[in-house]
Copies of this chain bind each other. A is one copy, B any other.
């Protein structure tokens, strides 16, 4: 493949250990790949040009059951490769004990266990230099509306996050939290199902300032929502702390495809927004190499994520730099939306008494079809 789109550390690409390490067990099938040593993952990802890796506490134990030894080996691999660990998270979903949730299980002792499990891994995350800690509440939900008092559940969710935020603060870890919403799967309905619900929840926290979001492409798209809009709103609230890049084909099971292998046009506008919208965190891939792949396919897929991002970045840059695009944006009055609707200090009377030619205004065209086509042609490398 062409050398133009080779990733480097400066691109800040990161991968979860659980991505390349996924053994490809699905609801209807057994694993198709053997466990992968995190040490190997670190070395291979470094060779491919990644900047860092991220992990769940349990990921480190994939082949070495002794935690201390597993951590030591992992640290050594990081040192050898120079890869960093910008983010870590907790597995609060695989073990049967979490079958009714972790922070919002109806069972109080399980909720307490879940908080302990996070604390232990927060200590490790801090040691490894992580600056962001992700919370995906995949089991916080229900299949029946009779089973869960949603308001009580949100009370407990808030209690858990505030407790852990206090813990991090007390220890001086300098870590921020990032909540990852998802609408459903593995629960019938998951609490905080979208970027919006999670943003609203964060606003209710005692430690709201240190909590933001880790939105995932496929999770919003599973609800048919526009991911670029979601990221726009998250940035507007100052809450885009981290991001999970992958691919999805709409309203179905969570596919975790390679970034760009789902809705490619949305991926283009996403890269455009990330590059120009003020996000400076890692570009984190949270995907699953398809179950048909052997280990060579795993590494091919890891590389594919990065190459696609780089190509889209190049396409977005060309799009923004094209004088015809700039002219088209002006013709669509896109910038006019940044002008306040009222004059500074304008009175209600002034606003109400304004003359306005309704029919003339209604007749104006917005020329969005032309603009969208310019984007598509840039995306296709055809300009």
Contact = CB atoms under 8 A, between A and B. Distances in A.
B228 A225 contact: no
B197 A233 contact: yes
18 contacts: A2-B377, A108-B339, A109-B361, A112-B351, A115-B342, A145-B228, A146-B269, A146-B375, A147-B334, A184-B252, A196-B199, A203-B203, A224-B249, A264-B264, A293-B367, A297-B370, A303-B373, A308-B380
B368 A147 contact: yes
Nearest to A191: B229
A104 interface: yes
A309 B25 CA distance: 34
Give the size range of A's interface with the partner: 35 or more
A100 interface: yes
Interface in A75-130: 93-100, 103-113, 115-116, 119-120
A153 interface: yes
Contact of A251 (B106, B252, B356): B252
Interface string A195-211: 11111111110000000
A35 interface: no
Interface in A241-273: 249-255, 257-258, 260-266, 269, 272
Interface stretch (A47-55, A64-72, A159-167): A159-167
Nearest to A116: B352
A228 B30 CA distance: 29
Contacts of A336: 106-108
Interface in A16-39: 24-32
Given A199-B196, A339-B108, A383-B1, A368 B143 contact: yes
A252 B188 CA distance: 9
